[in-house]
């Protein structure tokens, strides 16, 4: 197989893994993986906009207060499931059309705004997230006195300690590719007067199981990652574990993933923030400032450091389901987020010359992993 064909197959595999590409009906299970979809559903449902039906046609749903409250409760809590809906409503969640018919999620088409297929193109989850945070920023600005045209964003750690504050925030734009390659950053927060932008890498979902990886480990992720001693040793460990074929080649088996928790803090940080990671440098496409998972939220800060009430109106805390900042020397990896070298079977891959091997840096709790003992190092 030629290198160009292999690269094409790898790119197709990436798309299939990262995108929900099938035209299907809506479900709470899909929305749990990408809560932004639930927010989109709530907005359409509460405003009386039509939904497409599976098999064709449209329907407008009545906005029933108890249903809307249940949807909003699931969205705000991050616990999105049929079981949770039933627990809140004491009944199965169904909808009523304006002509009185009962409608289930399964009757509603998964259109492009919910991650489905539209005119041959797939809607990127990162674009939905960019639009969501941009909308939040613009709404926050519009809520302030007319002569205030920007806000301040505060980033806190899990202990609610202020890590970094960015002023003069006005909007968000998509990060452009670099030499045809996607950088670590998905979008950039724009600031007035050409102040340094705030670069954000966004992950979908609400748990470590919901996003693809922290980073790749091949040259596409950067030579500093690909040639790191721990990565090279991990490949040796994989070869030793799976053994050679009679012809001397290596073939990765299906049905098992091996892993090793990364020890070097520098490799950990590069996997999260990008190959150009530098804690002292300004943010850049491959040295991102923030990594966030799930739906964004802007919360007014009541206890700002400033004593000026007018100034305090501009201060908001940026929240998400899981959020870490490059300026925090001790990022929170609890709950299964610890960056881990992981191998798995992939039909079109041949990382490091091992057929069917896909090697990545993955959250420890993201998949079932058989850990490799350090004593196997050579």
pLDDT tens digit sequence for 327-356: 998 899 999 999 999 999 999 899 999 999
At residue 149, φ and ψ (nearest 5 deg) are -115, 15
Position 116 scores a pLDDT of 62
Q: How far apart are CA 173 and CA 176, in angstroms?
A: 9
Position 119 scores a pLDDT of 37
> In which band, very low, low, confident or very high, does the pLDDT at 204 lie, cut at 50, 70 and 90?
confident
Torsion-angle region of residue 97: left (phi > 0), alpha (psi -120 to 50) or beta?
A: beta
Higher pLDDT, 336 or 375: 336
Mean pLDDT of 46-60: 92
Position 20 scores a pLDDT of 39
Position 169 scores a pLDDT of 97
Q: How far apart are CA 79 and CA 62, in angstroms?
A: 24
pLDDT tens digit sequence for 287-338: 999 999 988 999 999 764 555 666 778 899 999 989 999 999 889 999 999 9
Higher pLDDT, 347 or 16: 347
Higher pLDDT, 141 or 20: 141
Angle between helices 82-89 and 65-77 (to 10 degrees): 130
pLDDT at 1 over 60: no
In 3D, which of 366, 319, 322, 315 has the Cα closest to residue 344? 366
> In terms of residues, how long is the chain?
378
Mean pLDDT of 206-228: 91
Counting Cα atoms < 13 Å in the Cβ hemisphere of 289 gives 22
Higher pLDDT, 146 or 196: 196
pLDDT at 130 over 80: yes
Q: Which two tokens stand for residue 169?
A: 């925030």
Mean of the per-residue pLDDT values of the chain: 87
Q: What is the pTM of this model?
A: 0.74
Transcribe 303-332 into DSSP letters.
Answer: S-S---HHHHTTEEEEE-SEEEETT-SS--
Position 68 scores a pLDDT of 96
Percent of all residues in the chain with a pLDDT value above 90, rounded to a whole number: 68
pLDDT at 11 over 60: no
Q: How far apart are CA 128 and CA 76, in angstroms?
A: 18
Position 152 scores a pLDDT of 95
> In which band, very low, low, confident or very high, does the pLDDT at 139 lie, cut at 50, 70 and 90?
very high
Residue 188 DSSP SS3: strand
pLDDT tens digit sequence for 76-96: 887 899 999 999 999 999 999
Position 345 scores a pLDDT of 94
Q: How far apart are CA 207 and CA 59, in angstroms?
A: 33
CA separation, residue 173 to residues 132, 187, 271, 356 (Å) = 11, 6, 23, 37
Higher pLDDT, 323 or 24: 323
Mean pLDDT of 23-28: 80
């Amino acid at each position: 197989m030629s290198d160009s064909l292999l690269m094409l197959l790898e790119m197709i595999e990436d798309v299939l893994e990262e995108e929900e590409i099938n035209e299907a009906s809506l479900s709470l299970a899909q929305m749990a993986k990408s809560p932004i979809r639930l927010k989109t559903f709530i907005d359409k449902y509460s405003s009386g906009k039509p939904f497409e039906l599976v098999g064709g046609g449209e329907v407008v749903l009545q906005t029933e207060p108890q249903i809307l409250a249940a949807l909003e409760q699931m969205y705000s809590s991050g616990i999105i499931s049929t079981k949770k809906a039933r627990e809140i409503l004491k009944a199965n969640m169904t909808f009523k059309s304006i002509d009185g018919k009962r409608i289930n999620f399964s009757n509603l088409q998964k259109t492009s705004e919910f991650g489905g297929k539209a005119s041959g193109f797939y809607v990127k989850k990162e674009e939905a997230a960019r639009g969501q945070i941009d909308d939040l920023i613009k709404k926050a600005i519009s809520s302030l006195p007319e002569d205030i045209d920007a806000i301040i964003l505060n980033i806190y750690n899990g202990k609610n300690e202020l890590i970094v504050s960015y002023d003069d925030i006005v909007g968000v734009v998509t990060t452009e590719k670099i030499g045809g390659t996607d950088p670590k950053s998905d979008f950039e927060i724009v600031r007035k007067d050409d102040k340094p932008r705030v670069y954000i890498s966004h992950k979908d979902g609400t748990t470590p199981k919901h996003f693809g990886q922290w980073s790749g480990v091949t040259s596409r992720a950067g030579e500093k990652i690909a040639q790191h001693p721990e990565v090279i040793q991990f490949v040796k460990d994989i070869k030793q574990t799976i053994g050679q074929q009679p012809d001397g080649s290596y073939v990765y088996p299906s049905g098992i993933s091996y892993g090793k928790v990364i020890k070097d803090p520098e490799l950990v940080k590069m996997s999260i923030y990008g190959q150009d990671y530098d804690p002292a440098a300004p943010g850049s496409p491959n040295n991102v400032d923030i990594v966030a998972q799930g739906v964004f939220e802007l919360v007014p800060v009541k206890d700002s450091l400033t004593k000026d009430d007018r100034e305090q109106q501009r201060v908001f805390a940026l929240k998400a389901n899981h959020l870490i900042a490059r300026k925090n020397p001790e990022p929170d990896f609890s709950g299964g987020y610890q960056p881990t070298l992981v191998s798995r079977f992939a039909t079109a891959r041949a990382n490091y010359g091992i057929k069917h091997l896909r090697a990545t840096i993955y959250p420890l709790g993201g998949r079932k992993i058989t850990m490799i003992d350090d004593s196997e190092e050579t």
